[in-house]
Amino acid sequence: MADSTEHPILTIDPRTHVADFPFIHYQDDTLFIDNASTKTLAQTYGTPLYVYSKNALLANYRAYVESFAPLSDVKICYAVKSNSNLAVLATLAHAGAGFDIVSSGELARVLKAGGQADKVVYSGVGKTKSDIATALNAGVGCFNVEAVSEIELISQVASELGKTAPIALRINPDVDAKTHPYISTGLKDNKFGISHDNALDAYRFASSLPNLDIIGIDCHIGSQLTDTQPFVDALDKVIEMIDELFAQGISLRHVDLGGGLGVRYTDETPASVSEYANALLPKLLDLQEKYGLGLHLEPGRNISANAGVLLTNVDVLKPTEHKNFAIVDASMCELMRPALYGSVMAVIPADLTATTTPQVWDIVGSVCESSDFLAKNRTLALNVGDTLAITGAGAYGFVMASNYNTRPRPAEIMCDDGSHRVVRERESLDDLWRGESV
C-alpha cells in the first residue's frame, strides 16, 4: 500500500525489491543507481541526498510515447509539481516532452530548462490575473480552466493584451479514483474542475466571450491509481460531454486525461503504461476518427518517482522496551510524504554486508515532531553509520522539502550510466536567512 495510516511489520528483500526498478541494482552487495555506486555518492556528496537516474526518467517518459503511438497527435506533458529540478526538466524537454504546470514559478522553471511554451498546459485552481498575463505573454499552449469565473478572467486579460487564449475546461466527472483522499481530485467533493452537470453551460458561456479559443476538454481524477478502470469510467463521462459539445457546434481539438497512473512503492501491482494505454486506446482512436481529437496526458509521479532515491545515514540506534528507533539524518523536512499521507515507502540498505541480527525498527528523523517518521515497523539489520536508501523518492520528495527546524535542504544528484553531477547544491545556513533582517 502506498498511502496508509496503518503500519504492519514489513520485511523487504532488497534484491527482489529493486529487480523491477529501471536502472537500480545491487553489484557486489552495493546499491547502484544508473551504474553509480551509492557508497561513492554518499561519501562524495554527503547525506541526506536525493539521487536521480537520467536514464530511468527517459525510459519512463518513452513508455508513454511508445504506448500511445497509434494515435496521430499525442502530447505527453510531464507534471512539473512532482519533481521540478531544472536538470530533470531539461532531460525531458530534450526528449520532446511538454509540461503540465500549476504556477508561474513552474512556467519560469520550464522555460529556464529549455522547455517550449507552446507545449505547456497551465493547470491548477486560483490562477491570478498576473499568472494569466505571464502565461499569455510566454505563449503557453493551453489553459486548463477550473471555474466559470476563471473563464471570465482569462477572457478579460487576453482582451487587455490583445491576445487569444487557448483554453480547455477541466470537468469533474465525479468518479471515485479509490486512492488516498488527499490525492483524489475527481469527486464532486473535491475543489477541482467544473462539475459534469454544469459543464455544457460553462462551454456555452466560454464561447460567448471574446479572445478565447476553446480547444479541448480536460479531466484528472487523482494520483497513485493502480487500476485502469477509473480512467476508463472518467473517459466515458468525458466522451458523453464531447458528443454533446460537437452536437451544439462547439468543436474541440484535444482531450486531456491528466495523469495519475500509480507506481510500486513496496508491494503494489499498478497497471503498466502499456496496459493503461490499451485500456484507453479503443475509445481514443474512435474520438480521433470521429472528431479528429488529439490527446494530452500529464504524468508526473509515474515518470519521476522510481527514477529517484533518498540516501540517508543512520546516526543513532535507540532500542527501547516498547519500540526500536533508528534515527537518521533525513526527516519529514526532507521527505514529507510519510508524515503527510502516512505513505509507506521502501527502505533498503545501500550495503548488504551487515552482520547484525535483523530487528524491527521505526526509521525516524531528529525533528521535534512525533509525526517525523520515514518508515515504521521495518525489519532491518542496522548499525550506526549505515546508509539507507528510500526508493520511490523521485516524486514529491525534494519539491515538498522544507527548512523547518532551520534544516538546510539536501543536495540533488543526477546519475547517467556511471557518471554523476550535482544538479542542486546542498543549502548552507547562510542560504536559510538570506533576505531576512535583524
Find out whether 66 is annotated in a ligand binding site. Answer: no
Phi then psi for residue 291, to 5 deg, are -120, -5
Find out whether 378 is annotated in a ligand binding site. Answer: no
Find out whether 396 is annotated in a ligand binding site. Answer: yes
List the catalytic residue out of 77, 142, 333, 368: 368
Q: Around Cβ 48, how many Cβ atoms within 10 Å?
A: 26
Find the angle CA(25)-CA(276)-CA(340) to the nearest 5 degrees.
65
For cell 540498505, the residue is: 349
Beta strand extents in 154-307 (DSSP E only): 165-172, 194-195, 212-218, 254-256, 294-297
Find out whether 369 is annotated in a ligand binding site. Answer: yes
Cell of 305: 518517482
In angstroms, the CA 272 to CA 307 distance is 15
Is residue 219 annotated as a catalytic residue, yes or no? no
Beta strand extents in 160-207 (DSSP E only): 165-172, 194-195
Find out whether 114 is annotated in a ligand binding site. Answer: no
Find out whether 139 is annotated in a ligand binding site. Answer: no
Find out whether 109 is annotated in a ligand binding site. Answer: no
Find the angle CA(366)-CA(369)-CA(375) to the nearest 5 degrees.
65
Q: Given the DSSP bridges, would you call strands 74-79 and 294-297 parallel, antiparallel or unpaired?
A: parallel
Find out whether 291 is annotated in a ligand binding site. Answer: no
Cβ burial of 437 (10 Å; 0-12, 13-18, 19+) is exposed
In angstroms, the CA 271 to CA 212 distance is 37
Find out whether 152 is annotated in a ligand binding site. Answer: no
Contact yes or no for 284/353 (Cβ under 8 A): no
Beta strand extents in 257-408 (DSSP E only): 294-297, 308-319, 324-328, 347-349, 359-364, 373-380, 387-391
Annotated binding site for pyridoxal 5'-phosphate: 260, 298-301, 396
Q: Which residues are annotated as a binding site?
A: 260, 298-301, 337, 341, 369, 396
Question: Would you name the residues annotated as active-site residues?
Answer: 368
* Sequence ranges of the binding site for substrate: 301, 337, 341, 369, 396
